[in-house]
Structure 1
């Protein structure tokens, strides 16, 4: 009836990447004058990607969307 505890090194290996992402501050948390420009530029790029989606592979489309999301993270 007792549950097996997960192996700690395996647990860390499985969860560390997500934990590190959660620790990264969002660009929205930073007070600067460039925030509005960054957000507008990312929106423009995403709209451009949506227009090009029919000519891209799904993998390329997802990668480009991820790249834009990374711009909002620091």
Structure 2
């Protein structure tokens, strides 16, 4: 069976979020001072370990929000 071809707007709606995500710069892609980057990575790791330790007392939503927040700190 042949697949139906999407019109251009449908194609853009489906592919644009992924394209935008691929364009995001990671913290290590910038000219940021390596000392600052090192500190940020260590701090994020520490925060993630804290989240894992508290996981049993958190809702799924709160846990996911915490993990996403730490991911945002590494993305620019």
Which TM-score band (shorter chain)? 0.7 to 0.9
Deviation of 1:31 (Å): 2.7
Q: Deviations over 1:2-30 (max 9, x none)?
A: 54211221121122112111101110111
Q: How does 1:1-74 map to 2 (within 5 A)?
A: 2-33=2-33, 34-74=36-76
Considering only aligned residues, what root-mean-square deviation do their CA atoms show, in Å?
Answer: 1.4
Contiguous gaps of at least 5 residues in structure 1: none
* Stretches (4+) displaced over 3 A: none
TM-score (norm 1): 0.88
Aligned length: 74
Contiguous gaps of at least 5 residues in structure 2: none
